[in-house]
Structure formats: structure tokens, C-alpha cells
Chains A and B, each alone.
Chain A
């Protein structure tokens, strides 16, 4: 299995025309995906679904950059997982921060937008309480 992977690795690096074709294919894919991004930006009005679409397109672009340009697709599986798995912590942080962002948004509205924009006034309000 590993010997087979090793020969495969050699094949990918040692046939220049094959690799060059792959590079240019990836370039066109990235270019088209970016154009699709721009197209969606002007066609659809801002919404959460448009945002999801942009994030998915971003992840697809990331796959091609890391996979082909950074040669990750042809590396050992263990190396791939060593880099990709820790990135799952990012998903955890995103989840936490979305929850926290909702909470902060609610807190701002309760305070009548005074928390950030007018700290001096807020201080006076606090003074009444004492």
C-alpha cells in the first residue's frame, strides 16, 4: 500500500506535461469560481443563503489551492489528516462565537444601543443607580 503510494507520488511529480495541465486546469477552475462569486453578488440580493453560497464556494476554492497548488492531494494520508483535523477546532470556535454574537446583539438592543456608541451617557445612567 505504502509502496504503491510512493510510486504514485513519483508519477505525479515526474511527468511535467501532466502536472502543467493540472496547474492550468486548477487556474481556470479558480478563475471561474471567482467569477461565479462576482455573478452571485450582483444577481442575488444579500441574504443568509447567499452568504452560505459564498462560504461553500470559498471552501471549494480552498480545496483546489491546498489540494493541487500545495500538493496536498498527493501527500501521505497521515500528513493530510495532521493538517486538516486540527482545523475542525475552527468550526467549534465559529459555533461558539455565533451564539455569543447573538447574545451580545440582544444585550445591545436591551441597553438601547448605548453600550458602545455613547459610553459617557451610560456612565451617567449608572450614576443614578448608586
Chain B
């Protein structure tokens, strides 16, 4: 018990103070805890979606729409029925940018400044491309089809906003805007933070500091955004 070898193997000694019992830095630990709380926010939004959609299961006069008939457009291929194609492209873009991010983290471990810069730029381009795709997706959804939907009183509704929805219940559009909007805002913040870290990397801030841990922290955030998209993709477009 008394010698130092047993002290290091004793789990109680890890909690005695003076070092992180998680063997991660304070900043990284706080990033994990932030992401946990953020995961709760997104879970709540997606569960609300599930709840409201489930509660419409038996409604027949204005049923919950199938994503097949709402999100079936692709840029430059006007008028073609292509469900899931555009959103799959968005998913690939986000996964690819996640890979370049983790490669930047890996380059940071080796203190390879040039590679960190290269991969960070690729990650930022991926994030920006995703945001562009989402803007296009929203535009399609808001503008709607040319035919629109004729209501009982004769008015024709085109597309969707917070008050009317061509495709089905208004709640469908509301949930689409809040969930993909909240996720899109996360992507946007991620791109902004990535740009800040890229500038700091180029200025040699982390090289002077002796480690690239900031890249790891924004990496955690960026992968989380990708993770959320996996579930948005699953619940909005697949189910």
C-alpha cells in the first residue's frame, strides 16, 4: 500500500486530486458534457417529432405525408421523382467532412501543421457544401409544387411554411423547420469555429503551444453534428 507502484494501480488514488481521473484535459471533458446536453436537446426534438407523427397515425383526412412525396427533388433534374437521392448526397458530404476532420486531428498528433491546415480547409468546404444543400432543400420545401393543394374553401396552397402546408399537417413543416434548422445552425456554428481554428493553426498558435488539442475539441463537436445528422436522416427521410 505504501509504495508508489501500488498507489498508481489503486483506483482511489486517481480521485485524490492533482490529475484528471478521466485522463483527458478540462476542456475536452467540458466539451463532452456540453455534447451530452446537446444530445438531450436533439433527442427531445426528435422524440417530439416521433410523438406528433405517431399521434397522426389514424388521421385520414389530412394524413402525415410520406417523405417519398415531399423530398423527391434533385438539382438540375427538374420534374423527376427521385426520393432520398439528394439527402443521401448530403449525408455523404457530411460523412466525408467528418473523415477529413478526424484526419486533421490525427495530423495534429504528429504536429504536422501543413496537413492540419489542408484537412481543416477540406472540412470547412464540406460543411459549407452541406449548408448549401440544406438551403436548396429548404427552398424546394418552401416553394412547393406547381400544382399545390386546393383547400376546401378553394384557396390553393403552394409549399410549406409555419402556418400552411401543401403536403400534410402544419406540424410536419413546423417540425421539419425546427429540427433541420437547429441542426443546420449547429453545422453553421461548426463551420465558423472551424474557420477560427484554421486561422489559429495558420498563425502557428498551436505550434507554439506545443499541442493541437483545440483541433480535437472542435473535432468532437463536428463529429457530434455528423452523429445528429445520422438520426435526422433516419427519422425524417427513411422512416
Give me the interface of A with B, judged by CB distance under 8 Å: 1-3, 6, 9, 13-14, 16, 19-20, 23-24, 26-27, 30-31, 34, 37-38, 41-42, 46, 51, 54-55, 57-58, 61-62, 65-66, 68-71, 75-76, 78-79, 82-83, 86-87, 89-90, 93-94, 97-98, 100-102, 104-106, 108-109, 113, 116-117
Contacts and interface: CB of A to CB of B under 8 A. Distances in A.
A66 B88 contact: no
B21 interface: yes
B4 to A, nearest CB: 11
Interface string B203-239: 0000000000000100110011011001101100011
Contact of B56 (A20, A46, A93, A105): A105
B47 interface: yes
18 contacts: A2-B9, A3-B9, A6-B23, A23-B102, A24-B99, A37-B234, A54-B239, A65-B230, A69-B226, A75-B22, A76-B24, A79-B32, A97-B54, A100-B51, A101-B54, A104-B51, A104-B55, A113-B62
A23 B103 contact: yes
Interface of B: 8-9, 11, 14, 21-24, 29, 32, 35-36, 39-40, 43-44, 47-48, 50-62, 66, 83-84, 88, 91-92, 95-96, 98-99, 101-103, 106, 109-110, 169, 171, 216, 219-220, 223-224, 226-227, 230-231, 233-234, 238-239
Given A16-B106, A94-B50, A117-B61, A9 B23 contact: yes
A106 to B, nearest CB: 8
A97 B234 contact: no
Given A23-B106, A38-B84, A78-B22, A31 B95 contact: yes
A34 B95 contact: yes
A101 B106 contact: no
Nearest to A66: B227
A34 B95 CA distance: 10
Main secondary structure of the interface of A (DSSP, over half): helix
Given A2-B8, A20-B103, A51-B239, A61 B22 contact: no
A13 B52 CA distance: 44
A76 B22 contact: yes
Contact of B220 (A62, A70, A116): A70
Main secondary structure of the interface of B (DSSP, over half): helix
Contacts of A69: 98-99, 101-102, 219, 223, 226
Nearest to B21: A78
A42 B9 CA distance: 54
A98 B106 contact: no
Given A38-B88, A79-B24, A113-B59, A62 B9 contact: no
A39 to B, nearest CB: 11
Interface centre among B52, B106, B233, B234 (most CB of A within 10 A): B234
A3 B9 CA distance: 7
Given A75-B24, A87-B39, 10 more contacts: A2-B9, A27-B96, A69-B101, A69-B219, A79-B22, A86-B36, A87-B43, A93-B43, A94-B50, A113-B61
Return the 4 tightest CB-CB contacts between A and B, nearest first.
A101-B54, A104-B55, A97-B51, A58-B234
A41 B21 CA distance: 45
Contacts of B110: 16
A51 to B, nearest CB: 5
B230 A58 contact: yes
Contacts of A98: 50-51, 54
